């Protein structure tokens, strides 16, 4: 029997390393396969057994949510960086370049999914959507973006660009030009 005032055990170093590896491989799989990623494939590619994965993440959805939590932190950092850009259209273009550079084809599942799909992240996802809408509104108020351009338009655009970035045959400079030309073209 454990004492109520006893200090909880610290996680073992190899356990922490396994968790970090599972999260890194989980992110790669999420980018490639979206929400259809396989827990068994993640465990195998991380070099651990499926039991180890389930010791760290009770369900496959818990793994997805943990990967997304880290991704959302990255997205929040990207928003912090672009929100200080004076030009609304420049801020929006930079956000699109940065965000699509972080993920692959699986970005569609993340961006287009109902925030309720990851219940522990609903508030953060809604706040990111609010901030994205603010970027759009600023570009519209400055006359650099059509009034009917919406957050849904941005999301579909981000998914298309992420697919281009994931295709190794397409040069990043060409994708960046596509982002610029598309967003400047919707005035």
Interatomic CA distance for residues 129 and 113, integer angstroms: 12
Q: How far is CA 17 from CA 14, 60, 119, in A?
A: 5, 19, 26
Structural domains in the chain (count): 1
Does the model's pTM come out above 0.85?
Answer: no
Residue 3 is assigned to a structural domain of this protein: no
Residue 1 is assigned to a structural domain of this protein: no
- Residues belonging to the chain: 187
Interatomic CA distance for residues 29 and 138, integer angstroms: 35
**Predicted pLDDT of residue 10:** 63
Task: Give the CATH number, domain containing residue 100.
Answer: 1.10.357.10
pLDDT at residue 8 greater than cutoff 70: no
**Predicted pLDDT of residue 182:** 87
Residue 2 is assigned to a structural domain of this protein: no
Residue 111 is assigned to a structural domain of this protein: yes
Q: State pLDDT tens for residues 78-129.
A: 999 999 999 999 999 999 999 888 877 788 888 887 777 788 889 999 999 9
Interatomic CA distance for residues 76 and 49, integer angstroms: 33
Q: How confident is the model at residue 24 (pLDDT cuts 50, 70, 90)?
A: very high
Residue 169's domain spans which residues?
13-185
Q: How far apart are the first and last CA of the chain?
A: 68
Q: How confident is the model at residue 12 (pLDDT cuts 50, 70, 90)?
A: confident
Residue 87 is assigned to a structural domain of this protein: yes
Residue 8 is assigned to a structural domain of this protein: no
Q: What's the per-residue H, E or C state across 45-110?
A: HHCCCHHHHHHHCCCHHHHHHHHHHHHHHHHHHHHHHHCCCCCHHHHHHHHHHHHHHHCCCCHHHH
Q: How far is CA 174 from CA 55, 92, 105, 108, 180, in A?
A: 43, 18, 18, 21, 10
**Predicted pLDDT of residue 145:** 93
Q: State pLDDT tens for residues 141-156.
A: 999 999 999 999 999 9
**Predicted pLDDT of residue 4:** 57
């Amino acid at each position: 029997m454990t004492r109520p005032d006893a200090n909880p055990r610290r996680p073992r170093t190899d356990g922490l390393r396994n968790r970090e590896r599972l999260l890194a491989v989980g992110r790669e799989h999420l980018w490639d396969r979206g929400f259809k990623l396989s827990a068994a494939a993640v465990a195998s590619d991380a070099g651990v057994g499926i039991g180890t994965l389930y010791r760290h993440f009770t369900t496959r959805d818990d793994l997805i949510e943990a990967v997304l939590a880290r991704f959302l932190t990255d997205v929040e950092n990207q928003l912090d960086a672009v929100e200080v850009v004076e030009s609304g259209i420049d801020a929006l273009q930079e956000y699109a370049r940065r965000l699509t550079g972080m993920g692959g084809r699986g970005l569609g599942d993340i961006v287009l999914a109902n925030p309720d799909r990851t219940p522990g992240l609903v508030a953060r996802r809604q706040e990111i959507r609010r901030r994205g809408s603010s970027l759009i509104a600023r570009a519209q108020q400055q006359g650099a973006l059509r009034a009917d351009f919406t957050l849904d338009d941005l999301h579909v655009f981000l998914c298309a660009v992420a697919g281009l970035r994931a295709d190794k045959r397409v040069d990043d400079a060409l994708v960046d030009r596509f982002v610029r030309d598309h967003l400047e073209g919707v005035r």
